Structure 1
């Protein structure tokens, strides 16, 4: 059946943002933004969105026209969204991948993420023009090699139940979480209006994010174009690892990102725009998103969209080292 409209727009009036689910497209070591053409890339990613995703994403090509299916509930969204993958590290040094589960209101999607495009806040789109991204646009948030926890848009929530949203922490939760861990990524919402990308995939954007879905700050003259604030929520089902006897004997928490980060400070996300035609602009111009006319698809249709892996390696079961990394 169709995704419930209540799952697409929540909280107060149905205005001001898009909220929808995207199931898992693939889990493999590819990163066409940071390591274009590399097969494999340095660490494992979970990827959602359109099936045009590959190791080399040419910015001159419009993936909104090239993809033929998407794992997202809006069938005109062929964008790609990806993050690192969470693993549990056992006391003997071996690793096993932590499963994902969809947000409670998004049906039976297979893994994936909840995606947001926020105009200003949950209850209003304000009075400013929100400009949709152009074809070829891409950006990243966070830094796996130099995270410090200072970005308020990169956070974790220790889920007491599937609807928990606060408090947020900059680092991994330090105690077992009854319903798992939610990883949160808020992208900048100010663009220079000129460049589809930059050398570090971030300088063409300016970050005024305050975290916790607060309205972003004003855009500076250097980056004057207000674009939708993109955000991801990923639900990691850590519950089968809640037995503290499985945790490190020094009392530290046992989860690591797929690039061997046990603090959580290096969390990061990648975004590549791929909405078809003017679909996203129509949504951002609307004050009542339920009447935008955006096409949706069923959960089975979203789950059926997959790509063949370019990298064939073991990523599941107990591993002596993380994919792409030597045993330590």
Structure 2
């Protein structure tokens, strides 16, 4: 009997781990999760994923898009984060360009790397992982976080000062305090335990629970209040801060800001809106593939970089976001006039 139990454990299915690229869909002030229907939203976001993205999003997003900027053509989810800016000593701002991750195919237009993992970075594990249901959404972190101790408490929300694009450690709870030779990476890990009932909650977080003590490490068992194990979603975004190295301020203060006005990084946050088509994510989670091995129909349909880059949405807010700006978009609405597109 003991032998049978051991044998069953050894042949237990190994669930999938996904890592893939998504090029930039849009950079604009929209937030259909935290500020639904508000045009413009309070601060600038980089958005990737399906082209159903707009100011108000309800229902099964996977059935509404016609293209996606992500590798997997069945993934019409939307993933977004705050944008990074450099502040010059003269008080003007410039948006920091986004670089592609070294692990991704060449030519991806900005964007981010997205993960769906359930064990750690190097192995799939053997738990049963449930896909998110249609209409599911969540956030992680909060722009209202204002001190370092609270920032340290947001496990999985970190910054990495890059020597090159392959640097992964150390992970910092706030902005690096010196120029980074290879740029800065922002890391956002979401919790993976679901209450099994609600696709959202008033603060977009209470329906989920985190049992991980460190990013990309095995998480603890889910509590009875949130008993359903989902994949851990994570984003990596690489910012080309190195291009501003020769403009580092004389007072040596950090010159980088997130687009809601944070130059400490304490309030880094991210949003997720599920939009995988049909049962595609569940099929992936039930397979034993890892990373690129999940592409080309094994089991997920995939596309090339040109098709990813070709997918886009029209900006609903007409305002300048490039070049040197007197202020970051949305930071002084009383003195600004924003022209809306028809």
TM-score using structure 2 length: 0.88
**Residue 145 (1) aligns with residue 139 (2):** no
Tell me the SS of whatever aligns to 2:317. coil
1:94-105 matches, within 5 Å, as: 94-105=92-103
Preserved contact between residue 186 and residue 209 of structure 1 (Cα < 8 Å):
no
Higher mean alpha-carbon deviation, 281-290 vs 265-274, is at 281-290
- The equivalent position to 2:79 in structure 1, one of 71, 78, 81, is 81
Preserved contact between residue 97 and residue 240 of structure 2 (Cα < 8 Å):
yes
Alpha-carbon distance in structure 1 between the residues aligned to 2:234 and 2:92: 32
Alpha-carbon distance in structure 2 between the residues aligned to 1:178 and 1:249: 18
Preserved contact between residue 15 and residue 129 of structure 2 (Cα < 8 Å):
no
- The equivalent position to 2:194 in structure 1, one of 191, 194, 204, is 191
The runs of 5 or more residues in structure 2 that have no matched partner are 1-13, 336-342
Alpha-carbon distance in structure 2 between the residues aligned to 1:212 and 1:69: 31
Structure 2 counterpart of 1:41: 41
User: What is the deviation of 1:210?
Assistant: 2.2
- The equivalent position to 2:329 in structure 1, one of 319, 323, 328, is 323
The runs of 5 or more residues in structure 1 that have no matched partner are 1-13
Tell me the SS of whatever aligns to 1:175. coil
Alpha-carbon distance in structure 2 between the residues aligned to 1:214 and 1:153: 10
Could you list the structure 1 runs, at least 4 aligned residues long, displaced by more than 4 angstroms after superposition: none
Deviations 1:91-137 (A, max 9, x none): 11110000001111312110000000002223433332100000100
Cα root mean square deviation, aligned: 1.4
TM-score using structure 1 length: 0.92
Give the structure with higher Rg (CA).
Answer: 2
Alpha-carbon distance in structure 1 between the residues aligned to 2:196 and 2:15: 25
Between Structure 1 and Structure 2, which shows a larger proportion of helix residues? 2
Alpha-carbon distance in structure 1 between the residues aligned to 2:123 and 2:23: 28
Structure 2 counterpart of 1:284: 285
1:223-234 matches, within 5 Å, as: 223-234=226-237
Alpha-carbon distance in structure 2 between the residues aligned to 1:46 and 1:221: 35
Structure 1 counterpart of 2:6: none
Preserved contact between residue 29 and residue 42 of structure 1 (Cα < 8 Å):
yes
User: What is the deviation of 1:212?
Assistant: 3.1
User: What is the deviation of 1:275?
Assistant: 0.5
